Amino acid sequence: MKSETMSKTNATRFLGRLLVATDGMEDGHRAVTFAIALARRHGSTIVLCYSVDRIAALGEAYVGYGGDGGAVLPMLRNIDDSARSILLEALDRVKAAGIVASAEELQGSPAEAILVREKDRSFDALVVGTRGERGLQRALNGSTADVVLRYNEIPAFVVSAGAGEADPSFARILVAVDDSDPSDAAICFALEFAGADEASLVFCGVAQTDDLLDKAATYGYDPAPLLKDIRSAARAPLDAAGALAKTKQLAFESVVAEGDPTNAILRAAADHRAGCIIMGTHGRRGVRRWIFGSVAESVARLSPVPVAVVRGPARR
Same domain for 247 and 145? no
Residue 133's pLDDT is what?
A: 37
Same domain for 73 and 219? no
From 163, 186, 204, the end of a domain falls on 163
Same domain for 19 and 44? yes
From 142, 163, 184, the end of a domain falls on 163
User: pTM of the predicted model, to two decimals?
Assistant: 0.82
Same domain for 97 and 183? no
Same domain for 120 and 225? no
From the list 125, 149, 117, the residue with the least C-alpha distance to 44 is: 125
From 112, 128, 163, the end of a domain falls on 163
Same domain for 179 and 156? no
Residue 62's pLDDT is what?
A: 58
Same domain for 85 and 187? no
Buried b (16+ CB within 10 A) or exposed e, 237-257: bbeebbebbeeeebebebbbb
The CATH number of the domain where 47 resides is what? 3.40.50.620
Same domain for 120 and 180? no
Query: Residue 121: left (phi > 0), alpha (psi -120 to 50), or beta?
Result: left
Do residues 129 and 31 make contact, with C-beta atoms less than 8 angstroms apart? yes
Same domain for 159 and 176? no
pLDDT tens for the 316 residues of the chain, in order: 333 333 333 434 689 999 999 988 888 889 999 999 999 989 999 999 998 877 766 666 555 555 555 666 676 777 778 889 999 999 999 999 999 999 999 988 888 888 889 887 689 999 998 763 333 333 344 467 777 887 888 999 999 877 766 678 889 999 999 988 889 999 999 999 999 888 999 999 998 876 655 665 666 666 666 777 788 888 999 999 999 999 999 999 999 998 889 999 999 999 999 999 999 986 444 433 444 447 888 898 889 999 999 987 654 4
In the chain, the number of structural domains is: 2
Same domain for 177 and 159? no
Range of the domain at 279: 172-311
In a domain, 316, yes or no: no
Same domain for 41 and 137? yes
d(CA 101, CA 44): 9
Same domain for 48 and 146? yes
Do residues 13 and 42 make contact, with C-beta atoms less than 8 angstroms apart? yes
